[in-house]
Structure 1
């Protein structure tokens, strides 16, 4: 694909006009301009006439240097975000970037080999999130190798790997498990490619980590109703939020599926919502409850901006693109606070918590597991059994009585 190029002056002017249309404040736009001046200085020093995605990436690496991203100052991370906005607009013609991407540079001969391994894994279609996880683990391992004066893969041996495994004992069990797994695959790759003459993947320390699934976070029926009642529906945003929260709470749809709902998914004549789930690809049919249908109609008639997009729920402000799941998460958090519902750190507070809560309500009504599985769109009832742990009334029926201890049990025992 041909790389997109544009002079920085023209690109900055286009982005500024775009941000002004989005009602960005003058102070925020001024911060962008200040950061772009640093980009302009970098381009001048390197005799670069046009801006491209590669130029933006080179500037970011120049700014970071040999430091870790997490050690950067807040203002430096903000400059990186401003540079990313230039690239985002150049590539897509829009600005949807909201978070500062973490650049994990794998340097040196070992780092280059790690990058080749990531490219090899990428050819098998692993996701961007998985790739970032690989980079995170490799960066940690690379720092360990640097601290021990190792700048090539050939000196890696069993003792070094054992020592590294011991050092990982200070990390979380999840990160330790993932790191050892990634490094094991990397070492096997080195041996298969003939880069090393011994398969050191067999010497990577084993851990007994077993990921324990967390108990699903749920809210009571009263809390869910208070959440829904807290949504003020006189504005376009309120009408949209009410319909989305109602679909999530009453039907248990995943956040991505709610955000991706199209007009074709609503079968008005049959009073059904029919879609292929984003996560599983499985088709699911759910009843179009009257209150949900009325909420959608209210939004379409009096709240939805004019747009040719097929998606039902759109942003309130220009550009009127569809929402993503993180936006729905923020929406639900907002109304939880407005409803005065307090949630602890252990209790999740996003769309998935409403999905869990629906499962809890169905279990309390003695709904059979296969029916709950169909409602939630699970491929297997085994996934639905995950929710059995929140059915406290049924769990109490499984409890065994503890027999009383005879008084003679303590006779002859010495109290220390």
Structure 2
């Protein structure tokens, strides 16, 4: 990229978000940029400007500064300026010179080393990366609390320190309290089970009654999914790749992890089937290789995929031609969803999982039995699939009951007396 090009704000932010994901930016940091871009979007709407360029970005920054120096700005205002500058830098140079670095948690001392051992143990148990990252975050906070109270060895740890740390959680969110208590409880149990502690101190950690509320799955109609697919320009190698990946999510409901991890050995061309072991559930899954999907994959392999000895089907469009990662696929799907002229798009999920949900919704509309949907989506049981019953509005309407008449002298003819 040698100079500026005409791009809408949605186009440039989608490209930068994909760039961040390829460089493994932390999702929390990306969210800071996304919040800044929302403010920039509001500014552009007020200015009645659709095309983003350096001049628009500078005007937004000038509006934030409001005749103040940079040092006078709040942290949030500085983030807004940084969010705008990365768009300008990427649009003009094709890269961003400085990138955020993930925070490295140091677990020092006897207790810190034991926490590291616990995290390694959890990893060996097959716990997900997100779970281990959560444990690491909350245990590091516990370790910092102990260090601040001069508790540097396990022999100095007693119930007053555990209860003291729990008490300081009072102003945290319910989810944070729940995750923190769970992490500490697991760590203490590990210490006792491995005889680092003579007493099981898990009884000191209260059990949280917090339950994550199940959200209504984001879905798109069959027509909206077709519009997304029609948005993809298959004239380019990148478009050929993107079309095949979106079809895997929209037609077969594959998760992002399974799409990115798809290998040549998973496709049996002689039987027109796809065989794989799901990354999330470790369960085997067999799905039909639909004609439309098969043709899209062949088109990409013949005319779009870079030369590589890697066993993975989908690779990055630019050098280095490595395996495509899940966050990048999320940004790709998000880009096309936002360009498909779908109403109310800002209040919906934009990733490949939304296409998976949409497939479930479309199958429900076609009166497909729940066990069949469960098999298609690769669920280990139909209980996981039942959450989609909440989005089948037509069937729910059929379950509606008439409101019985109220036999009361105070209620007559539809009105209170």
Aligned counterparts of 2:347 and 2:154: Cα–Cα separation in 1: 42
Greater relative CO (CA pairs within 8 A, separation 6+): 2
Aligned to 2:264: 263
Aligned to 2:230: 229
Find the structure with the greater CA-based Rg: 1
The residue matched to 1:400 in structure 2 has which SS? coil
- Tell me by how many angstroms 1:220 deviates: 1.4
Aligned to 1:348: 349
1:243 and 2:244 are equivalent in the alignment = yes
Aligned counterparts of 1:345 and 1:153: Cα–Cα separation in 2: 50
The residue matched to 1:211 in structure 2 has which SS? coil
- Tell me by how many angstroms 1:193 deviates: 5.0
Aligned to 1:310: 311
Contact 1:252/1:376 (<8 A) preserved: yes
Aligned to 2:277: 276
The residue matched to 1:383 in structure 2 has which SS? helix
* Structure 1 residues 273 and 128: CA distance shift in structure 2, 3 A: closer
* Structure 1 residues 195 and 257: CA distance shift in structure 2, 3 A: closer
Contact 1:343/1:349 (<8 A) preserved: no
1:142 and 2:133 are equivalent in the alignment = no
The residue matched to 1:224 in structure 2 has which SS? helix
The residue matched to 1:273 in structure 2 has which SS? strand
Aligned to 1:11: none
Aligned counterparts of 1:281 and 1:193: Cα–Cα separation in 2: 29
* Structure 1 residues 282 and 134: CA distance shift in structure 2, 3 A: closer
- Tell me by how many angstroms 1:329 deviates: 0.8
1:105 and 2:106 are equivalent in the alignment = yes
Using the size of structure 2 for normalisation, the TM-score is 0.67
State the number of aligned residues. 317
Aligned to 1:285: 286
The residue matched to 1:408 in structure 2 has which SS? coil
Aligned counterparts of 2:410 and 2:166: Cα–Cα separation in 1: 46
Aligned to 1:44: none
Contact 1:217/1:347 (<8 A) preserved: yes
* Aligned ranges 1:14-413 → 2 under 5 Å: 100-148=101-149, 150-154=151-155, 156-192=157-193, 195-341=196-342, 347-405=348-406, 408-409=409-410
Q: Deviations over 1:90-144 (max 9, x none)?
A: xxxxxxxx87332111334433443343345455454544332222111222233
Larger CA deviation: 161-170 vs 380-389: 161-170
Aligned counterparts of 1:307 and 1:388: Cα–Cα separation in 2: 43
Contact 2:338/2:345 (<8 A) preserved: no
Contact 2:241/2:304 (<8 A) preserved: yes
Aligned counterparts of 1:163 and 1:193: Cα–Cα separation in 2: 25
The residue matched to 2:342 in structure 1 has which SS? coil
* Structure 1 residues 206 and 283: CA distance shift in structure 2, 3 A: closer
- Tell me by how many angstroms 1:180 deviates: 0.9
Q: Deviations over 1:119-177 (max 9, x none)?
A: 45455454544332222111222233345554444554445444433432322322211
* Structure 1 residues 178 and 400: CA distance shift in structure 2, 3 A: same
- Tell me by how many angstroms 1:278 deviates: 2.7
- Structure 1 unmatched runs, 5+: 1-69, 75-97, 412-416
Aligned counterparts of 1:313 and 1:186: Cα–Cα separation in 2: 39
Q: Deviations over 1:27-58 (max 9, x none)?
A: xxxxxxxxxxxxxxxxxxxxxxxxxxxxxxxx
